[in-house]
Amino acid sequence: MEVMEKIKQAIESNPVILFMKGTPEFPQCGFSSRASQAISACGAEFAYVNVLAEPDVRENLHRYADWPTFPQLYINGELVGGCDIIMEMYENGDLKKMIDEVS
């Protein structure tokens, strides 16, 4: 499967998905750690892709949504943003509202 199709399928198949470095249990960067903790704190079950274990995804995801950094959070097929946006939305309650709408 072509990598762009693989990315699209992962995003469309999961209401909440985080592309991150590492896993929620063992994040490999502070930004990915904070992002996954914020999503978990909202009570959400979410899918994730460890971009360190999937170099083809890591190299091409920025082309999918024109977002250069990791982590990247998608809710209902739409890019929400990276760590700073996730944390801001978590702190003001918007992240939980968005997640609750798709749960």
State the binding site for [2Fe-2S] cluster.
29
**23's tokens:** 């896993």
Binding residues for glutathione: 21, 58, 70, 83-84
**13's tokens:** 């198949």
Binding residues: 21, 29, 58, 70, 83-84
**Short-list 78, 71, 69, 67, CA closest to 102:** 78
Under 8 Å between Cβ of 7 and 61:
yes
Residue with tokens 């959400």: 44
